[in-house]
Structure 1
Amino acid sequence: MAPLRVTVIILIFANLLALALWRGWLGGGSSYGEPERLSNQLNPERLRLMTEARPPAAPPAVVKPAPEPEQAVAKEKAEAEPPAADSVAPQACVVFAGLSPDQARELTARIAKAGTGFKLSETRSEAPSSWWVHIPAQGSRDGAEKKAAELRRLGVDDLFIMQDAGPNQFAVSLGLYKNEVAATRLLDTLKEKGVRSAQIATRGAGTVRIEVRGPGDSLATVASDLSERLRGVNRLECSP
């Protein structure tokens, strides 16, 4: 009986020891159950599960390749140097003297139509600048041609028919002189040949002198054309 009694007593003590350990009466480690774990924490009601906030990834920086030294120097020179100025064409000057007001207007209009780049300077004079020996307008081209043929039969070959519109259109020009003496001498010679309709008209009362300046090549072409159209007008060179 003694061994059985000892066994029962040992079992009782073992159960009591187990109960004390389970209750924590002996100061042992806390239970690993989830309810006990939460109850042992300080202020469990303030616990929050947070995910770690990470800043958004910055885009990769674009690195520009540094320019080659020679290219950089060439670029700086190109930016520093001003554009080359256009080559300026040589300038020229032509004077048209002894123009009537109508001729001056025609010349101005034709030069304006020729293009830009021309500069005009106009001077008016009240004194006669020339004396014109001519046969007055014949009214038509046929009449002027008939008169010219008649003059040639009389031995007068230095003549031309005025073509420009105006009061002197289809007149027959026989000569333009700087002084009255020379014009009178020609008129006397024509009378000796039998020319009775020739007369002298002064030019320059209200005449116009126009200087035209501009690019040499263009001005030469325009001046040549104007000289053909404005017969009897003096054309002179001047300093540009």
Structure 2
Amino acid sequence: MFLRLLFVLLTALNIAVGAWLLLGQPYARGGTPSDPGVAELRLLSELPEPGPAAAAATAAAPAPAPAPTAVTSSPNLSYSCLALGPFATPQDLRNARQALSAQVMRMRSRQEQASQTSGWWVYLPAAGSRAQALAVARQLAARNIDDYFVVSSGDQPNTISLGLFKDPANARKRRDEVTAAGFPARMNERSESVPEYWLDLVVADGGNFDWRSHVRTSGIGSHSTGCF
């Protein structure tokens, strides 16, 4: 009876040990400890050492070249500054601005006052008094010299005006006629201040800039000016 019981116990113990060896050991059934498609983690000590050929190839591999650095540069442009004018009216100036707006780097308009000849005045110098000026005027009439008047106000009173002429040749002829009659006639250029309109331009390579192909206003010139 005792031997039979001992035999049963040994048999049960062997079965238990066999089951533990079969089912209890990790990875005993050839499974993987991770999900499908995920690389197995391994210790460095578990990796095989590389052979001599692989070690030599790794040592001889060149270091990666650094990424190139972009270098930007702008061309050196030459600039010139020109002044166009004078324009007679603000409308002429506006037309030029519109015609050149797409051709230049910058532009500005300006107005200046200029002295302009308004004519030539032929006259007799002022007398000492109003009575003396009237006496000279009667002498002119006696010599058949007409078209005169005695200046009674302004900055040259008692002067006898003999005419204002646009053409200097006509003014000289009138002066010579009165002088030949025995009177000290003189000739003087008269001027007035008038506005002039200018257009200043900043252009690239100004030596080759053909502004005349865009501005059709007659009497316009150009010259170099300070840049702005």
- TM over 0.5: same fold? no
Task: Give the number of the structure whose residues are more often helix, by fraction.
Answer: 1
Q: Which TM-score applies when normalising by structure 1?
A: 0.41
